[in-house]
A and B are shown apart, each in its own frame.
Chain A
């Protein structure tokens, strides 16, 4: 009798397979692309197939909407928040994939393994977004990070690329050790590895010191992946050294996945009851906003500007994160949506402008860009406006949402630092925009565009992103309506047991 029950509850049912379909598609896609590489197909074909596979993964995600929320074993909790985050992450993979062809076709490295790693990284980030258990959290994080080691150092003949890869390797491995040690301490205190189990053990009691130590160590590990201030040292160098599409991936999907899992974990154990932990998070948030914006001021390299900008943005995100409560998943998802869209628009333009030898990373390259490439310059301007949070762009709506969440719970200090540091941030975002309009129009236009098909696809993607940026800024009601319905669940709803 016992055996039969074990069989029923632990092996995967059809429903489990359906619910996990987006992850299965991503995992299968990485194997499929590897087989295509073995068959020595061309870059173009592999690119198009991966594009198709990302679209299939996205469609399979839309298919599971009806069955949410759904718990798979003890490892995954696929609720509407998790599904939204998976959607964002798969969308990031798709966007990175679109921009990759133009970037890698001219490079000296065969870009094929790149797509395998891209699928695996996307899979890791998606696993993070729905993980409800330390095992899946750590495995997802490691799949993501190990894939990123290789992606960052992908152009291995270039010194700065290898340097960035080594930096990320050493620091990420070190931070994983912190995370693991923190998890071990939490396990020692609670005796549970699943979030729900921990929540049961901790209950409403005060947070014991051992648990607090464990949470602190975990915060170091997760903070590194999010590149929030004291753990931000690697960011600028890695952003600069990595290939541009990979940089875009680090800035978006990898952080989105970690934010989602961190939010799920903190919601499960109700981590903000502890005042010490809250104070630490507030300090981290304020430091990230201030330091990120100040360090960006003097940069002359646009990848570094975006690196520091991402530090500041994660600080803004923490303002929505810290208050705790039901509104947090909504504010966080909406903010990530606006941040992802703007970041991809910016990195997409950089990718298209990059040449075979070097990336278009120095701000000097952008002088008079408007007179040469008005479309690209306008898109980059909109992206910068949105990152700066200027009204009528998505960034403003996102920041507004974050602010209302913070103020609604009485976190005035965080809110005022957010506003003040955003004002400082305006300087360097607008500097990029003014650079593009500076100079005269008699500059010679660049060489004729290559790869018209893929350039076309990339431009379409950029226009869609720009449209989304403006649409989210002018008429955000629809997106906010979607986000409002998101719920983050820790324990399984009663219905999923009744199958």
Chain B
């Protein structure tokens, strides 16, 4: 089973190297996805199947979708279609696909040969994870909530758009209205 670890590890390292050397963000994202899958494989091999699933659902799934949303939003326009055609060249997707295929083959071999080997890592069950998170590290989870709050409040402030007021009289009215509102609240 050690060989499985090294294969997954190699895939992770190669994919991550490709992430940081690509010039096009979408190419990098494809490799990042593979790198995350390889990490999930590593977790799985270490007996942390729950962490492996979370890695796939949260990182390879949700966060990747967010990235792709951002890329899509940034690329609105006529050239988008043209660009997408360029991105879907064989050259672009063949690398990540090959690496992912390696992982998939490894996964198949492991699943099919299960119960035959002597490899038995200490399995961490979801229950253990939950107990540790919501008993021993309860305060840690709450602190993580404050961390997210800091990030959200900060990002909301930095990324906020000013309301665009084209006419100066309108602008004055808006300001007056806001003042009035404040006075009422007080």
B100-142 vs A, Cβ < 8 Å mask (1 yes, 0 no): 0000000000000000000000000000000100011111101
Chain B contacts of A140 at CB under 8 A?
A: 143
Docked CA distance A123–B153 (Å):
15
B136-176 vs A, Cβ < 8 Å mask (1 yes, 0 no): 11111011101101110111111000000000000000000
Chain B contacts of A75 at CB under 8 A?
A: 137, 139-140
Residue in A closest to B185 when the chains form the complex, CB atoms: A40
Residue in A closest to B142 when the chains form the complex, CB atoms: A27
Chain A contacts of B147 at CB under 8 A?
A: 139, 142-143, 146
Given contacts A30-B149, A154-B157, contact A10 B144 (CB under 8 A): no
**Beta-carbon contacts under 8 Å, B42-97 to A:** none
Check if B154 sits within 8 Å of A147, measured CB to CB: yes
Check if A11 sits within 8 Å of B138, measured CB to CB: yes
Chain A min CB distance to B180 (Å): 11
Check if B158 sits within 8 Å of A156, measured CB to CB: yes
Q: Is B23 an interface residue (CB 8 A)?
A: no
Docked CA distance A10–B140 (Å):
13
Check if A146 sits within 8 Å of B143, measured CB to CB: no
Q: Is A183 an interface residue (CB 8 A)?
A: no
Chain A min CB distance to B184 (Å): 9
Q: Is A117 an interface residue (CB 8 A)?
A: yes
Docked CA distance A42–B16 (Å):
49
Check if A10 sits within 8 Å of B138, measured CB to CB: yes
Q: Is A72 an interface residue (CB 8 A)?
A: yes
Given contacts A139-B140, A139-B143, contact A146 B154 (CB under 8 A): yes
Chain A contacts of B182 at CB under 8 A?
A: 40-42
B185 in complex: contacting residue of A41, A109, A146, CB < 8 Å: A41
Docked CA distance A384–B144 (Å):
39
Centre residue among B137, B144, B155 by max chain A CB count within 10 A: B137
Check if A6 sits within 8 Å of B140, measured CB to CB: no
Q: Is A80 an interface residue (CB 8 A)?
A: no
Check if A156 sits within 8 Å of B143, measured CB to CB: no
Residue in A closest to B148 when the chains form the complex, CB atoms: A146
Docked CA distance A139–B137 (Å):
11
Q: Is A136 an interface residue (CB 8 A)?
A: yes
Chain A min CB distance to B16 (Å): 13
Check if A120 sits within 8 Å of B137, measured CB to CB: no
Check if A117 sits within 8 Å of B181, measured CB to CB: no
Check if B136 sits within 8 Å of A117, measured CB to CB: no
Check if B154 sits within 8 Å of A45, measured CB to CB: no
Docked CA distance A156–B157 (Å):
9
Q: Is B1 an interface residue (CB 8 A)?
A: no
Check if A10 sits within 8 Å of B136, measured CB to CB: yes
Docked CA distance A76–B151 (Å):
23
Docked CA distance A75–B144 (Å):
13
B135 in complex: contacting residue of A6, A34, A150, CB < 8 Å: A6
Check if B137 sits within 8 Å of A135, measured CB to CB: yes
Given contacts A147-B154, A150-B153, contact A120 B146 (CB under 8 A): yes
Check if A72 sits within 8 Å of B139, measured CB to CB: yes
Chain B min CB distance to A338 (Å): 30
Chain A contacts of B143 at CB under 8 A?
A: 127, 136, 139-140, 143
Q: Is A300 an interface residue (CB 8 A)?
A: no
A113 in complex: contacting residue of B144, B153, B186, CB < 8 Å: B153
A147 in complex: contacting residue of B150, B156, B181, CB < 8 Å: B150
Chain B contacts of A139 at CB under 8 A?
A: 140, 143-144, 147
Docked CA distance A140–B155 (Å):
19
Interchain residue pairs with CB less than 8 A apart (5) = A117-B154, A146-B147, A147-B154, A156-B157, A165-B158
Known: A139-B140, A143-B150, A150-B154. 16 other contacts (CB 8 A): A41-B182, A41-B186, A45-B186, A73-B138, A74-B136, A75-B140, A113-B157, A117-B153, A120-B146, A120-B149, A123-B146, A136-B139, A139-B143, A140-B143, A146-B154, A154-B157
Closest 7 CB pairs of A and B: A150-B154, A10-B135, A120-B150, A139-B143, A147-B150, A113-B157, A146-B150
